[in-house]
Amino acid sequence: MPDSTIFVGFVATLLTIFLFDRLLRAARNFSRLPLPPGPKGLPFVGNVRDLPKQDTFEAAHWAKFGELYGPISSINVLGKTIIVVNDAKTAIDMLEKQSTYSSRPQFYFTGEIVGWGDTTVSLSYNEKLRSHRKNFARIIGTKSSTAQYHAMQEAEVAHFLLHLLDDPDNLRDHIKRQVRLPSSNLHDVRHVPDWVPGTGWKRLARKWASELNAAIELPYAFVEHQMAEGRRNLSFVANLISSSSNTAEETHSNKWSSATLYSGGADTTVSTVACFFLAMTQYPDVQAKAQAEIDRVVGTGRLPVISDRDNLPYVEAIVKETLP
């Protein structure tokens, strides 16, 4: 009996908190302009039933909202408002030409508990974001500035091909090269105490936070150590350090913009290369045409390099089609 009483009390407390939160939201929203049109939701859960079903093509699902409610519509799911934009011109006008809508939603689990909130893609439109953008523009913002990395990229491609030739059966391992990014579908319930059953994910979050901190700090410290010893280093991090005043704010910005650059390119590079190999096995005629173009332009005595890119339009088109 005591256990059931505790459980009932716990559930009642959660419902009270939820209802109080909804009342506060309603009070805040009362004086605001109305939201764009959308389907009527259910009490408490909102438009959960209007979300795409599993194994449904999401683009087609949301396109129907454009037919029913116009270029801009909205739904509310468990207290979260989602705005659906179904018109390209409207999207460009809102997201590209105006900074009012440039900010990003905050995700407490990945952002605050794990620590990804300081990556460029997680930042709100603020001074930190502007600092990150300045870093990217200064170091890799032009073709001439990225040219310094061409030799390094070509060397890495050669290493990849050597590993692949030596062990062709482990293609996926060669592509991934130990690139792993933690992800989670856990909800943002940061305020639930650790003693509540089912909150073991909080220990996992702390573990991920520790690993993330090491992933941010150790590479940066490694580059600083190399530079202190006078070793030549042309990395993005080294260029940031050498061109900054290295105040506490700049160092923080340098670390997190560098981490964003790596994490943003890691999974996309893996998926792009994997898609390329899959496409070439599925369409051998396309592979043959690409190889013929390379043989004609480059010959058979060396590997293609970045300076050959403008003379390989067919290969360029294939690469663009494999991009995620």
Query: What is the per-residue pLDDT across 43-86, written as a single tens digit (0 to 9) for each?
Result: 877 888 888 888 778 888 888 898 899 899 988 887 788 888 99
What token pair was written down for 244? Answer: 């900054």
Total H helices, total E strands in the chain: 12, 2
Residue 170 is classified by DSSP as G
pLDDT of residue 191: 46
pLDDT of residue 316: 95
53-89 burial, b at 16+ Cβ within 10 Å, e below that, comes to eeeeeeeeebeebeeebeebbbbbeeeeebebbbeee
Phi-psi region of 46 (alpha: psi -120 to 50; beta: other; left: phi over 0): left
pTM, entire model: 0.57
What token pair was written down for 130? Answer: 């502007």
The pLDDT tens digits for 105-123 are 666 666 677 777 788 877 7
pLDDT of residue 285: 96
The structure tokens 């459980």 sit at 7
Residues forming a β-bridge with 83? 74
- Report yes or no: 90 and 101 within 8 Å, Cβ to Cβ: no
Report the candidate in 171, 152, 155 with the shortest Cα–Cα distance to residue 163. Answer: 171
How many Cβ atoms from other residues are within 10 Å of residue 32's Cβ?
7
- Report yes or no: 47 and 75 within 8 Å, Cβ to Cβ: yes
What token pair was written down for 46? Answer: 């909102």
Residue 50 is classified by DSSP as G
Contacts of 176 (CB under 8 A, 6+ apart): 270
Give me the long-range contacts of 216-225 (CB less than 8 A, separation at least 24). Answer: 216/255, 216/256, 216/259, 217/255, 219/258, 220/254, 220/255, 220/258
Domain ranges of the chain: 1-32, 37-93, 127-282
Cα angle at 9 between 110 and 45, to 5 degrees?
Answer: 50
- Report yes or no: 95 and 104 within 8 Å, Cβ to Cβ: no
- Report yes or no: 239 and 139 within 8 Å, Cβ to Cβ: yes
Backbone angles phi, psi at 91, to 5 degrees: -60, -45
Phi-psi region of 39 (alpha: psi -120 to 50; beta: other; left: phi over 0): beta
pLDDT of residue 182: 34
pLDDT average per 10 residues of sequence, the chain (324 residues): 60 66 60 80 83 84 89 86 87 77 67 75 82 88 86 85 87 64 39 49 74 83 87 84 87 88 78 89 96 95 93 95 82
Phi-psi region of 41 (alpha: psi -120 to 50; beta: other; left: phi over 0): beta
